């Protein structure tokens, strides 16, 4: 792992004060007098992705309340977060299993148990009432920030309304299990609820938390939970870029223990020529399937059955 991806500028914020005394813990919710959607911001799906906790802490301390509808702020994998160690910052992604691969009825209703499944089962009734959900994450590498808007047009449209970050990546998830944004509530073609995931930058950089705050504020605006005057003092003058849309055409899954890239990719590199070898999966070369293929979130944690990189096409 490179030096930059291990440098820890960001430390956890104290979320013990947000535990509450009910079940689920670490969930704050306010309902306005005026009607409106249930807007939910989720942090810490992965315990070592500190930026979301910083963003929710900022919103709570700012005293923001919804103008309409219901606003919920949720700290998901608090067990993993509590184990964060700046000497070994990657270790606290989860306690027993990746919490963002368990959002299928099979996993949630099956007989298997884990720290993450127990917490997911607690939070499930809450998420299943969310109308507009932002799941706040960060990345291993220094890739430009991006939205993962899932498979639906309404996901991509919501990400475009938020407007920051400008990269909007439509995809269908992982072979390794279902993400929260892929839950049927948010992906049913006949449904209306929308969930998007934002990757705010490298896990432990200061600027990643700053971006998470900006995305959270813009999400509250885009969903109508707050008005512009409520957040104007905190909105940074980020130049608004037109959205860049990307369609993921393939998630490359490592088949064995011997998957390696031909060089260190950060993410969002555009490979000009079709047929370029970008990695080897054992003896099998992994090549780009078309010209101007974009590499999304190359993993530095290459394990069999897990996504190594996604390949995408930039949409006009």
SS3 state of residue 228: helix
Q: Which residues contact 148 (CB under 8 A, 6 or more apart)?
A: 169, 171, 181, 196, 197, 198, 199
Instruction: Return residues touching Zn ion (CB under 5 A).
Output: 46, 49, 137
By Cβ distance, which residue is nearest to Zn ion? 137
Minimum CB separation of residue 34 from Zn ion in Å reads 33
Minimum CB separation of residue 70 from Zn ion in Å reads 25
Quick one: 46 or 70, whose CB is closer to Zn ion?
A: 46
Quick one: 45 or 311, whose CB is closer to Zn ion?
A: 45
Quick one: 12 or 224, whose CB is closer to Zn ion?
A: 12
Answer whether 132's CB lies under 8 Å from 66's CB.
no
Distance between CA 12 and CA 206 in Å, rounded?
11
Minimum CB separation of residue 137 from Zn ion in Å reads 3
Minimum CB separation of residue 78 from Zn ion in Å reads 15
Minimum CB separation of residue 233 from Zn ion in Å reads 29
Distance between CA 311 and CA 316 in Å, rounded?
16
Quick one: 137 or 245, whose CB is closer to Zn ion?
A: 137
The residue among 13, 188, 10, 1 whose CA lies nearest residue 105 is 188
Minimum CB separation of residue 49 from Zn ion in Å reads 5
The 3-state secondary structure of 111-130 reads CCCCHHHHHHHHHHHHHCCC
The residue among 236, 246, 225 whose CA lies nearest residue 160 is 246
Minimum CB separation of residue 45 from Zn ion in Å reads 6
The residue among 87, 2, 3, 96 whose CA lies nearest residue 47 is 96
Distance between CA 313 and CA 291 in Å, rounded?
9
Quick one: 37 or 147, whose CB is closer to Zn ion?
A: 147
Quick one: 51 or 222, whose CB is closer to Zn ion?
A: 51
Quick one: 98 or 122, whose CB is closer to Zn ion?
A: 98
**What token pair was written down for 204?**
């432990």
> For the chain, how far is it from start to end, CA to CA, in angstroms?
35
């Amino acid at each position: 792992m490179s030096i930059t991806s291990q440098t820890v500028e960001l430390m956890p914020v104290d979320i013990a004060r947000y535990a509450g005394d009910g079940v689920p813990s670490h969930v704050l919710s306010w309902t306005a007098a005026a009607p409106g959607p249930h807007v939910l911001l989720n942090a810490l799906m992965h315990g070592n992705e500190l930026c979301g906790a910083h963003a929710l802490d900022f919103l709570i301390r700012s005293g923001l309340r919804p103008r309409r509808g219901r606003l919920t702020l949720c700290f998901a994998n608090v067990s993993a977060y509590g184990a964060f160690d700046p000497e070994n910052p990657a270790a606290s992604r989860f306690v027993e299993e990746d919490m963002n691969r368990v959002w299928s009825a099979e996993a949630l209703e099956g007989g298997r148990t884990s720290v993450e499944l127990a917490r997911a089962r607690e939070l499930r009734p809450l998420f299943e009432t969310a109308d507009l959900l932002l799941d706040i994450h960060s990345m291993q590498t220094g890739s430009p920030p991006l939205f993962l808007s899932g498979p639906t047009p309404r996901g991509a449209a919501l990400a475009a309304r938020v407007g920051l970050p400008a990269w909007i990546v439509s995809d269908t998830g992982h072979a390794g299990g279902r993400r929260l944004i892929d839950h049927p509530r948010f992906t049913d073609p006949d449904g209306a609820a929308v969930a998007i995931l934002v990757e705010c930058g490298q896990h432990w950089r200061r600027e990643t938390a700053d971006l998470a705050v900006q995305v959270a504020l813009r999400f509250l605006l885009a969903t109508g939970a707050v008005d512009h005057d409520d957040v104007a003092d905190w909105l940074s003058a980020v130049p608004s870029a037109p959205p860049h849309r990307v369609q993921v055409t393939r998630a490359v899954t490592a088949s064995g223990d011997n998957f390696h890239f031909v060089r260190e990719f950060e993410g969002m590199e555009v490979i000009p020529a079709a047929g370029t070898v970008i990695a080897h999966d054992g003896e099998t070369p992994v090549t780009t399937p078309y010209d101007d293929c974009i590499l999304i979130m190359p993993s530095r944690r290459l394990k069999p059955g897990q996504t190594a990189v996604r390949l995408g096409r930039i949409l006009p």
